Structure 1
């Protein structure tokens, strides 16, 4: 029975020693990690680890407190709004009222707009016809050139007065 107690005591001793060794290795790992963190804090890092920046967290460790980012202050929007409002007021005051845009249009303005292309074609045709008539008169030789040109300008003026 005493041997059973002695063997149990030896087993417990061995377990306790193993636990102590395990605890010592864990504390040495933690100390090694804290050394690495201190190196990262100082900027001396052999590895490609990112530098810690605490934006929303206030660390309790004194070595990490210098990594805390300063609190951001929101910008005031009031100044920007005032600038936009002042710019809008300047634009409104700089615009002058155009009397033509206020005046009502003639009732047939849309008809003139639609017919304008057709009138251009017709004017080109009338000019060609006038030129042909002048050539015919000159070919017969009966009429003086100055009289023919004068009569054609008179007809053009008459046509322009009619359509305006």
Structure 2
């Protein structure tokens, strides 16, 4: 028990010492500087170099610090200075639109058209063979009848 009381007393003493140090520091911060005590109160506080760029002060003393608004430098557009190329080529905007208004239909129906094209070719070949057969038969009949 005695050891605990001694340790508590040490903790309390340390805390009191810290509090005294904090009070001393606070008093140092609150006391005015010697330089401030030597200056009279009627000295113009606007002697600091204040510049007003965007604000117009109402006080006459402060209006001396007002600056003129900045003037933008002259801008020269580098893109406008370069002349456009004189090559008269096809307008690229003409290639954007489809040349025929039914191109979507053709795209969607292309498989069916291809299938139909193959069938048409087969039918034409078949008709040509039939025509040759008829001519051969007519030649055979006309040659046998002679």
When normalised by structure 1's length, the TM-score is 0.26
Comparing both chains, which one has the higher relative contact order based on Cα–Cα distances under 8 Å and sequence gaps of 6 or more? Answer: 2
Q: Larger helix proportion, structure 1 or 2?
A: 1
